[in-house]
Chains A and B, each alone.
Chain A
Amino acid sequence: GDSVTQMEGPVTLSEEAFLTINCTYTATGYPSLFWYVQYPGEGLQLLLKATKADDKGSNKGFEATYRKETTSFHLEKGSVQVSDSAVYFCASRGGSARQLTFGSGTQLTVLP
Chain B
Amino acid sequence: GAGVSQSPSNKVTEKGKDVELRCDPISGHTALYWYRQSLGQGLEFLIYFQGNSAPDKSGLPSDRFSAERTGGSVSTLTIQRTQQEDSAVYLCASSLASGQSNQPQHFGDGTRLSIL
Q: Is A60 an interface residue (CB 8 A)?
A: no
Whether A32 contacts B101 in the complex (CB less than 8 A), given A43-B107, A43-B108, A98-B56, comes out as: yes
Judge whether B76 is part of the interface by a CB distance below 8 angstroms: no
B116 within 8 A of A: no
A: contact size bracket: 20 to 34
Residue tally, chain B, CB below 8 Å to A: 24
The stretch of A13-21, A45-53, A76-84 that contacts the partner chain: A45-53
Is the beta-carbon distance between A97 and B107 smaller than 8 angstroms? Answer: no
Contact of A98 among B42, B98, B104, B109 (CB under 8 A): B98
**Bound CA–CA A41/B110 (angstroms):** 9
Which residues, 81 to 111 on B, are CB-close (under 8 Å) to A? 91, 93, 98, 101-102, 104-110
Contact digits for A76-112, partner B, Cβ 8 Å, 1 yes 0 no:
0000000000000100011101111111110000000
B-contacting residues of A (Cβ < 8 Å)?
A: 31-32, 34, 36, 41-46, 49, 51, 89, 93-95, 97-105
